[in-house]
A and B are shown apart, each in its own frame.
Chain A
Amino acid sequence: MQVSWLIVTLGAYILGDALQRACGGSALANPVLAAIILVASIVVVSGTDYKVFATQTQFVSFLLGPATVALAVPLARSVWLVWENLLGVGLAVLAGSISSIGSGIGLVWLFGGSRTIALAMAPKAATTPIAVAVSSQVGGVPALTAALAILGGILAAALGRKLLTMLKIDDWRAHGLAAGIAGSGIAAAQVAGRNELGAAFAALGIGLNGLIIGLIAPAFVQLWK
């Protein structure tokens, strides 16, 4: 019984992947979202405790660490391109991080949400492990931040390419960076599977965004006491 949830998780992901292929590779049919919905439904319907599920699938979550480090490979290959665009990258990261934190807190406030929700929302654009760490530091609910980080990542993966293409932005550097900053690992994975230059800029976006959110989210939170 030890491996049953691991099998369910892998199987659901393969199904989600097949679904995306059946939809002609459409980013809207995101395999991560499909797998999460399917597995979550099975967990709820079978009345399983989330802790039991998490323990059995921790091997999959554990691989997130090495996979993040692995982003160094495309990053190193495109390092001179990154170097050439350093000022643009710096400004773009700042614009993306600040607009994400500011609008996240602002919109929750505008729509009558509680401060706790705003605190959980503030760091959600950072990659999940960073977002969770910052959330607990500023007084948010870490589990909620993790959920928001993943949902935001899926949203960015599903809509990012279309949105930027609509604005006639067709450069992989801009697509990769935007994916890494607005959608962290999930949107980055979507870009990384298609283009190496995009993967490098997405990796860069994840790293810099995590750093900036870690530094400025605590300051933004002071705005709403």
Chain B
Amino acid sequence: MTIPAFLILLACQLAGDLLRHTLALPIPGPVIGMSILTVVLVFRAERTTSKSSTVIGLERTAETLIRNMGLLFVPAGVGIITEMGALRLQWLPMAAGLIGSTLLSLLATGLVMHWSIHRRAAGRSAVVPQATERTRAKA
């Protein structure tokens, strides 16, 4: 976790927040910030292949944050206790909606993406990166 890296991430978030406010966008600041940083990183990689210490620090910081992202949802998740009343009264429609829509959405996205990859791969023998146990990281 380096300081310049953290500054870059926060600056992108701030830029995203400012854009959201001025243009009244329905997307949160951090997601706009993510798009900004992606564009910057892609243009940088196009112009030079050497990585400065700032970029290396940014990559390491990003990796640490992403690997531990689950922890960051715990406090908001504990907020479920404030909604216990609604959960107790309407648990069935809520469980049905939650489980049904999550599984359907997983299936719809996965199947459409799979279909599109294979339709393309049929034209040329592309190497398909597979989600096998072997490629699992130690995380």
Contact = CB atoms under 8 A, between A and B. Distances in A.
Interface of A: 9-10, 12-13, 25, 30-32, 35-36, 39-40, 43-44, 50, 53-54, 57-58, 60-61, 63-76, 79, 84-85, 87-89, 91-93, 95-101, 103-105, 107-114, 117-118, 121, 124-125, 127-130, 133-134, 137, 141, 143-144, 146-148, 150-153, 155-156, 159-161, 163-165, 167, 169-175, 177-179, 181-183, 185-186, 188-190, 192-195, 197-199, 203, 205-207, 210-211, 214-215
Contacts of A175: 110, 131
Contacts of B106: 96, 156, 159-160, 163-164, 178-179, 181-183
Given A76-B38, A89-B113, A178-B110, A150 B80 contact: yes
A155 B98 contact: yes
B66 to A, nearest CB: 5
Contacts of A101: 101
B113 A167 contact: no
A133 B76 contact: no
Nearest to A111: B93
B97 A69 contact: no
Given A54-B75, A183-B102, A207 B130 contact: no
24 contacts: A25-B136, A32-B73, A61-B75, A65-B30, A71-B66, A76-B45, A96-B105, A103-B101, A104-B98, A110-B93, A112-B93, A113-B90, A117-B90, A121-B97, A141-B83, A150-B76, A155-B103, A169-B110, A170-B130, A171-B129, A174-B113, A177-B110, A185-B69, A198-B131
Contacts of A186: 69-70, 73
A60 B98 contact: no
B131 A65 contact: no
A8 to B, nearest CB: 10
Q: Per DSSP, are chain A's interface residues mostly helix, strand or loop, or mixed? A: helix
A50 B78 contact: yes
Interface in B1-56: 6, 9-10, 12-13, 16, 26-31, 33-38, 41-42, 45
Interface in B75-115: 75-83, 86-87, 90, 92-94, 96-115
B93 A155 contact: no
A89 to B, nearest CB: 7
B130 A72 contact: no
Given A64-B30, A69-B34, 8 more contacts: A61-B76, A67-B72, A99-B105, A150-B76, A152-B101, A159-B103, A167-B110, A178-B107
Given A71-B66, A103-B100, A178-B110, A150 B35 contact: no
Nearest to B28: A129
Nearest to A31: B70
Q: Which 6 A-B pairs have the closest CB atoms?
A: A88-B116, A113-B93, A214-B26, A96-B109, A193-B139, A76-B41
